[in-house]
Amino acid sequence: MAAQMGQYKAGFLARTFHELGSPLTSLISLYQLILSDLCDSPAEERDCIAQAQQSCLDSDRCGL
């Protein structure tokens, strides 16, 4: 029984990481561009923020 529960736990954690990892990676990358001053203009910064927000909304994981 303990081995089976361990397998369920491992599967749950793997699925949870996968579901959260992709949108979070996208958000983190876009925000890093902004924070590192790699955007060429305020308009490009706004575009990165808009993309991050849309990624969040599309994934339906941010509760917005």
* Domain positions in the chain: 21-59
Residue 18 has pLDDT above 80, yes or no: no
Q: Identify the H or E element spanning 27.
A: helix 2-35
Q: What is the pTM of this model?
A: 0.49
Q: Which pLDDT belongs to residue 61?
A: 54
Q: Which pLDDT belongs to residue 64?
A: 44
Position 59 confidence tier, pLDDT thresholds 50, 70, 90? low
DSSP helix/strand/coil, 38:
coil
Per-residue pLDDT averaged across 2-8, rounded? 85
Amino acid, single-letter form, for residue 36: S
**Polymer length of the chain:** 64
Residue 56 has pLDDT above 80, yes or no: no
